Amino acid sequence: MPITYKLVGFTIFSIFDSYKGPISLSNINKTFKLFGLTEYELNQIKFIIDSEQIINIDKIYMIDENITFVYVYIFIDEIKEKLKKIFITHGKKEEDNITGKIENYENKLMIDEEEMNESITQEEIEPPSLLTKEIIEKINENTLLLLSDPDFIILLKIYKNKPHLFNLLSNYIQNNEISPQILQDTIIYTEDEYIELSLKIMGLGLDFSQEIIIETLEKYGGHLNLTIRKLLSN
């Protein structure tokens, strides 16, 4: 069984595929469509092999003599629950008795979508009482998976070169909204000025519509800082 699919954060069950030919994103998608996933759901999933996210649908990956692991990575809870059912139905339970011990440790290492909205803190991670080579290898697999995300690499470089920006960002996005009521009634921007300010925010690439940006700018009297913070907190 040369291909093993593993769902990140749910390693109790794995799906084994006896297919021995080269694999690509195209035939991975075909496999999971047979399990009942839609085109939209597949587009939300990251498939990762050898610490590389498979993006090019036509790129071919050769199968080596050992088992090839394909990691299935998804942030959206609804799709993840559906994937769990697929792995339970079509997969096999891990026989390794250390799986449960590792999973608790790995879950603390993986970025959870809900934690993105919390303050940036430095929580001490308590490792298992005994780190064997097998446990370390499994932890390393998830570490390589995380390091395959180019956005995470950018964060690492920022932390190395400008670590103070993390605390600055944390303070910036905290929910300490200032009431628009403190703004003076005499603050009046023209429609053209609001449009000009909205273009500056749109240039940040934060994917807010111009209509929403201008509406928020008007609420905060053209105050860019408060407007951006309000947009990010929504």
Sequence spans of domains, the chain: 3-112+123-154, 180-233
Across the chain, what does the average pLDDT equal?
Answer: 77
Q: Give residue-wise pLDDT tens across range 180-193.
A: 555 655 567 888 88
Q: Give residue-wise pLDDT tens across range 146-191.
A: 887 788 888 888 888 888 888 777 777 765 556 655 565 556 788 8
Given this model, what pLDDT does residue 101 score? Answer: 44
Given this model, what pLDDT does residue 207 score? Answer: 84
Phi, psi at residue 53, to the nearest 5°?
-70, 130
Residue 86 has pLDDT above 90, yes or no: yes
Pick from 122, 219, 232, 206: nearest CA to 167: 122
Phi, psi at residue 232, to the nearest 5°?
-70, -25
Among 48-57, 64-73, 97-106, name the one with the lowest average pLDDT: 97-106
Given this model, what pLDDT does residue 29 score? Answer: 92
Residues 120-144, buried b or exposed e (16+ Cβ, 10 A)?
A: eeeeeeeeeeeeeeebeebbebbee
Q: Please, which residues bridge with residue 70 across strands?
A: 5, 49
Task: Quickly state the pLDDT bin for 42 (edges 50, 70, 90).
Answer: very high
Residue 112 has pLDDT above 50, yes or no: no
Residue 228: burial class (beta carbons within 10 Å; 0-12, 13-18, 19+): buried
26-29-32 Cα angle (round to 5): 155
Given this model, what pLDDT does residue 165 score? Answer: 85
Residue 73 · residue 48 · CB < 8 Å: yes
